Structure 1
């Protein structure tokens, strides 16, 4: 039985609580921690939890009975709390984004390795049946080499969304929609497609004059084989329609699920390849639905990785790769240059200090 503590009892915390409560035979929540303990008390009462309440994580880490810590605090605090938890001998599940900089990610991964503890980064959208099914379709390579990928991470947030004290600031939130909304789609994109060799991007703030950060970004990524990807991150799109489309040599597939396959007529114009479309549809549909999806799915994977040595689907290395791609978008857009990957310690955006000294503030707070 794993003893779990949750640090940070804001908006995302209930998703973690519900996730752990899904597995009463495997884990139990023993502590909640927040600098505003009354928030923790409210959740304790709401979910009828038998837990201790802490007002700082340092005291929590002294509790030797805690095995696993979920970190649900603002992004700029992730690294400090995660490293402290790992050094205290706790496993760590940290909310997205992993940290505020690649330097912090590397320090977190080093702490996990040094202490031989597991570090996982929340990417709950991987743990959905449609995404797993699409990943399996791509793994068959039936669509041929991927030539173009389209990532539309469209969200909509009103002006008041950025009135919260830490939101919309480079120092506290670490970025805008690219980091804090599109992170899910960018994570899935790099999981399915891999990291490109270069990125060219632009960012802007078009509708939120109470935020320092961007509310839209558009990036073009290039791979070594010449294939391209376009990634749009936004909180200004009504309808919040989101999709990932993979155009292969032989067919296109996407989430939401859609498949089209073509063969060439003698004159080069397309003709439907219904046989391949059916084959791809069969692969997509003839897979078992996930028993647990979203946060419960990832929490179950984390618990099983700790208890049964099962593979961890989203570890700290994967979390870093997602932030690396986002960092490349910010570096390209702010410095107005094409950025080559991978990013190293020489990147001006490798450290949090470097980012804060280089980014454009769309407004001052």
Structure 2
């Protein structure tokens, strides 16, 4: 089988799990170029991974043999890089979030759609075995209708994390705990429980951190299917805890905790998936997780290119969680109830 030829753009902290996955997938994927504008970052990356380095994005865009570009740069650069890649006919795998605002994210998605290229988004929680099994059980109808959904994201980031220039700012990251950390769990929640129609709640920056954006959000939600829910997200919970999604259904309950799943039916049956024992990035080291799920994202993206199907997480899918985050932040500012754009009641 001919290898899919891809290029990497962005060689900072986020690239490591992807690069490890690409090493694993070397029988299927050939990395043709790895680019960062910083010579120091290129050198450091080259010492760890066996991929050819280049010093210009134009080198990638002008290389007709490159089929796809994986973008792992800061969020505020995503739209412009993706548009250039799409216009050059390259498929795009984009690290979350799509960009720092939903309007910019919509531009990115529209450009890829117009160019006819695939756009995949790195929201890897959907690829965990526990999440996949939960989706399968819910789709089968075994648990019945979802009547409630509680999502808890209690993470820890020390102040040193936010002391990095631009981190936790609107200009570089687009927000705080929701768009930078919670987006993964919120996306998984939406994929399981369906869209949220309306939210109300609070968002703040606690005294634990000195930063521009929110590090704590507490909200109530009404799902489009009539279910009620809660969202509790923070990066101020020392030492950091595994995220949880509890789905209350009329025939039982499904509890996702990190990479663990426990489903308990009212008839006495149980289904369980054991955790992978990783820290999950909940604590001070945001990269303390295995690269298995990033590898799965990459494998799915490449298969989508080869077969012509859509990736598991498309740009349109990612826009759903962006719009939910917008509504949560607006509710936190206004103190009122806010409808989620695009969701049907």
Q: Normalising by structure 2, what TM-score?
A: 0.88
TM-fit CA distance, 1:191: 0.7
Describe the SS at the equivalent of 2:196. Answer: coil
Check the 8 A contact 1:8/1:71 in 2, yes or no.
Answer: yes
More moved, 60-69 vs 71-80? 60-69
Q: 1:168 to 1:25 in 2, by over 3 A?
A: same
Q: 1:84 to 1:208 in 2, by over 3 A?
A: farther
In structure 2, the partner of 1:5 is 7
Distance 2:54 2:111 in 1: 26
TM-fit CA distance, 1:331: 1.6
Distance 1:59 1:211 in 2: 37
Check the 8 A contact 2:98/2:108 in 1, yes or no.
Answer: no
TM-fit CA distance, 1:48: 2.6
In structure 1, the partner of 2:144 is 144
Distance 1:139 1:293 in 2: 24
In structure 2, the partner of 1:329 is 328
In structure 2, the partner of 1:101 is 101
In structure 2, the partner of 1:300 is 299
How do residues 1-365 of structure 1 correspond to structure 2 at under 5 angstroms?
1-49=3-51, 51-54=52-55, 56-238=56-238, 239-255=240-256, 256-262=260-266, 273-274=267-268, 277-278=269-270, 281=271, 293-343=292-342
TM-fit CA distance, 1:225: 4.6
Check the 8 A contact 2:208/2:236 in 1, yes or no.
Answer: no
Q: Normalising by structure 1, what TM-score?
A: 0.83
Distance 2:203 2:217 in 1: 4
1:101-126 Cα deviation digits (max 9, x unpaired): 22222212221121111001101111
Check the 8 A contact 2:147/2:227 in 1, yes or no.
Answer: yes
1:267-286 Cα deviation digits (max 9, x unpaired): xxxxxx31xx24xx28x79x
1:189-233 Cα deviation digits (max 9, x unpaired): 111111111111211111444310111111211024532111111
Describe the SS at the equivalent of 1:167. Answer: coil
Check the 8 A contact 1:37/1:53 in 2, yes or no.
Answer: no
Larger radius of gyration: 1
Distance 1:109 1:75 in 2: 14
1:301-331 Cα deviation digits (max 9, x unpaired): 0111111224421111111111111111112
Check the 8 A contact 1:6/1:71 in 2, yes or no.
Answer: yes
Distance 2:206 2:142 in 1: 41
Matched residue count: 321
Structure 2, unmatched stretches of 5+, are 275-290
Distance 1:8 1:177 in 2: 22
Distance 2:310 2:223 in 1: 28
Q: 1:84 to 1:154 in 2, by over 3 A?
A: same
In structure 2, the partner of 1:354 is none
Distance 2:211 2:62 in 1: 38
1:166-210 Cα deviation digits (max 9, x unpaired): 201111110001111111100001111111111112111114443
Q: CA RMSD in A?
A: 1.9
Distance 1:24 1:138 in 2: 35
Check the 8 A contact 2:70/2:92 in 1, yes or no.
Answer: yes
Describe the SS at the equivalent of 2:27. Answer: coil
Distance 1:60 1:81 in 2: 11
Q: Could you list the structure 1 runs, at least 4 aligned residues long, displaced by more than 6 angstroms after superposition.
A: none
Structure 1, unmatched stretches of 5+, are 263-272, 286-291, 345-365
Check the 8 A contact 1:159/1:207 in 2, yes or no.
Answer: no
